[in-house]
Amino acid sequence: MFAPLDYLKLRAKLGDTLRPPSRRRSVSRGHPMSAGIRRCVPAAAALACLLSISAFSTLHRASSVQPFVLPDTNAITPEMVNAGRVIFHGQGTCFACHGAGLEGGPIAPTLKPHAWKDAKTGSLPAIYSVIIHGASGTAMVGHPGGISDTDAARVATYIWSVGHRGAKP
């Protein structure tokens, strides 16, 4: 059995080899907690870097994305109407329910001039809102065919022009 004084002499002779590796000290390392802190510093630095990149990209995206504005109905051109017609009969798959001539069918109303049910006023913003958000209680989903907000505006412009300007369906 070791006496306390012998233990201290042995410990001084062997140094930190009696301690488990996680608790060993060295002159260059300092406090036993510093090893844990040193292991955390690279992770913390990486996290800070990722957060700053994320914040920068969010700010950049927010500053580079312009809020979407519907066109002025007085400025609608035939090219804008044709662009909406192409999406209506293509990617938007609108024709499948509303018909190729916007005449409607068993599951969707006509989009020609009528008493609007969901787009209450039949205005361009009201039509656009239904295309973006869908119509609850109906088969109409928001962003049909996965179209973008810009494409939804083009389709709304087309539908509005058929009803208010007599554009060809």
Domain final residue, candidates 64, 99, 115: 64
One domain for residues 123 and 79: yes
pLDDT tens-digit readout, 68-111:
679 999 999 999 999 999 999 999 999 999 999 999 999 999 99
One domain for residues 12 and 60: yes
pLDDT tens-digit readout, 107-133:
999 998 888 888 888 899 999 999 999
What is the number of structural domains in the chain?
2
pTM of the model: 0.60
- The parent domain of residue 117 ranges over 73-165
Query: Cα separations (Å) of 67 from 4, 63, 70, 81?
Result: 78, 10, 10, 21
Amino acid identity at 44:
A
One domain for residues 94 and 156: yes
One domain for residues 142 and 111: yes
Query: Which among 66, 65, 68, 70 is positioned nearest to 128, based on CA atoms?
Result: 70
